Amino acid sequence: MKDVLLIADLHGQFGKIDSFLELNPEAVFIAGDITNMGPAESIDDVLSRIDVPCFAVPGNCDPRDTVDALEHSDAVCLHGSRINLGKMTIVGLGGSNPTPFNTPFEMTDKQIDDLLHAAMGKMEKATHSILLTHAPPYGALDKPAGEHVGSKSIQRHMSSFDLVCCAHIHEQRGVTEVDGVKVVNPGPAMDGYCAMLHFGSEPKDIKIEMLTL
C-alpha cells in the first residue's frame, strides 16, 4: 500500500467522494467528522462508494454510535485500536479533547491517554508508523484563533510515530514537522480538500501531496 487518500471533516457533505476516488488511491484514511452531529447511519452513503480498503475514526461532531456504525460497515474502525498492514502499522483515535461547543464525541486527555496507551501496546515494528486521529496534537496545526487547542496526550505519544494524520481545525490545513514526525491536516473534504500520502520503501520516506478538487 503506497498511495493513500486522506480525507476528513466531510460533515455530511459527500458530493465530492467520487472525485476524490478518481485519484486512484490504494486505500483511504478518514480522520473523523464524517457526519454533522449525525445520524450515524448516514455514513453508509459515503462508505458504500469507497471500493478500496478504508480505515476510519469518528470525529467530535460524530455521535458516539458512529463507532458501532463503522464497525458494522465495510470500513475498518480504528478508534482506540491498531492494525498492522505489511510495512505499515496504524493506530486510530476518534473524537477530540474537550471543546467549548459541547459536541457529541469529546474525551478528557486522561481518556485519550488510556486509549492510546492500550492501542500502542499492540503495535508491531514496521517501516511506517501512523497515527490516524481526529484531534491534532497540542502545538501542531491546532491554532484556530491564536491559541493551541490540541490534545496534550496525543502530543506526549506522537514521538512513537512517523506520521500523524489529523483534522478538526479547519483553518489549520497543512503539513508541519515536529521533532522528525510529520503532521498533516488535509483540510475539510466538504470544501474539496484532501491529501495523497505516498509511502516509500524506507523508513521516514513519506511524501504528502496537498490537493484541492
The pLDDT of residue 141 is 98
- Whether pLDDT at 110 is above 90: yes
Q: What is the mean pLDDT of the chain?
A: 97
The pLDDT of residue 146 is 86
Q: For the chain, what are the domain ranges?
A: 3-212
Cβ partners under 8 Å of residue 57, min gap 6: 30, 31, 32, 77, 78, 79, 92, 93, 94, 132, 133, 134
* CATH code that applies to domain 3-212: 3.60.21.10
pLDDT tens per residue, range 25-68: 999 999 999 999 999 999 998 999 999 999 999 999 999 999 99
The pLDDT of residue 122 is 86
pLDDT tens per residue, range 75-98: 999 999 999 998 999 999 999 999
The pLDDT of residue 174 is 98
- Split at pLDDT 50, 70, 90, the class of 72 is very high
Instruction: Give the strands of the sheet with 128-133, arranged side by side.
Output: 81-85, 88-93, 128-133, 163-165, 181-185, 174-178
Q: What is the mean pLDDT of residues 184-212?
A: 97
Which of 110-114, 143-147, 153-157, 184-188 shows the lowest per-residue confidence on average (mean pLDDT)? 143-147
Q: What is the mean pLDDT of residues 14-32?
A: 97
Within the chain, strands assigned E span: 3-7, 27-31, 54-57, 76-77, 81-85, 88-93, 128-133, 163-165, 174-178, 181-185, 193-199, 206-212
The pLDDT of residue 73 is 95
- Split at pLDDT 50, 70, 90, the class of 17 is very high
Which of 9-13, 55-59, 68-72, 143-147 shows the lowest per-residue confidence on average (mean pLDDT)? 143-147
The pLDDT of residue 7 is 98
The pLDDT of residue 33 is 98
The pLDDT of residue 59 is 98
- Rounded Cα gap, residues 4 and 146, in angstroms: 31
